Structure 1
Amino acid sequence: MAEINIYETTLNHNGEQGIIDFDVLLKAFQNAGITINVFNIWDNPSLMTEVRPVEQVLLQEGVEAMPITVVGGEIWKKGAYPDYNELMKWSAKTE
């Protein structure tokens, strides 16, 4: 199973329905035993520079490109949270 990491900023958490939906979806996947890691830029800013693809997007596009989804070390989505179908497909991907 490929590692799924989502890099976000708290600026995205303003009660929008899409964010609430993603939080519910995330909990459902975690309850099913699928690991999806979520990292917040403000909680650990140095982590964003340790992950080269994320660092490059942030340098070129800024935090407006967040959230950034990385699957198996590669960026698979940016600017929006993944949906159910994407997470199902990506969680089945083998490295």
Structure 2
Amino acid sequence: MTEIIVFDPPQCCASGVCGPSVDPKLSRLAGDLAWLRQSGVSVTRYNLAQQPGAFVENTAIQAILEKNGEDALPVFLVDGEVKSQGVYPDREQLAQWTGLAVECGKGVSPGNDCCG
């Protein structure tokens, strides 16, 4: 089973989808991570403000933070390998990392070749 671990920057709640003005990227990511879970991918998400121990315990994350600071967050690990840092990936990237197929019209970004 593929495992994705997300190390988020400090946010008010675990998903970042809270408060009066929700960032659309975080809302989309919440849906994408739910899709991954439903597809059998193990997904764990850590928030620096709420779970700082997870950041300290992971040597790869600790090294990234020491080198680049919080600007490197979010960091996405796939089966222990750093796949992305500093940006939230889209569903196509998540699918590629996990070997899943994305159905056209279901969370696929406009302009994707499959929808052409």
Q: Is the 8 A contact 1:69 1:76 kept in 2?
A: yes
Larger radius of gyration: 2
Cα separation, 2, equivalents of 1:52 and 1:63 = 15
Q: How does 1:1-95 map to 2 (within 5 A)?
A: 1-9=1-9, 10=11, 13=16, 15-92=22-99
Q: Determine which structure has greater relative contact order: mean sequence separation of CA pairs < 8 Å that are 6+ residues apart, divided by chain length.
A: 1
Alpha-carbon distance in structure 1 between the residues aligned to 2:41 and 2:80: 17
Q: Distance in 1 between matches of 2:29 and 2:51?
A: 21
Unaligned runs of 5+ in 2: 101-116
Root-mean-square deviation (CA, aligned residues, Å) is 2.1
Where 1:62 maps in the other structure, the secondary structure is helix
Q: Distance in 2 between matches of 1:32 and 1:76?
A: 19
In percent, how many aligned pairs have the same letter? 23
Q: Which runs of 4+ in 1 moved over 3 A?
A: 11-14
Give 3-state SS (helix, strand or coil) of 2:44's partner. strand
User: What's the TM-score, normalizing by structure 1?
Assistant: 0.83
Query: Whole-Å Cα distance in 2 between the matches of residues 2 and 90 of structure 1?
Result: 9
Provide the rounded CA distance (Å) in 2 between the counterparts of 1:5 and 1:74: 10
Higher relative helix content: 1
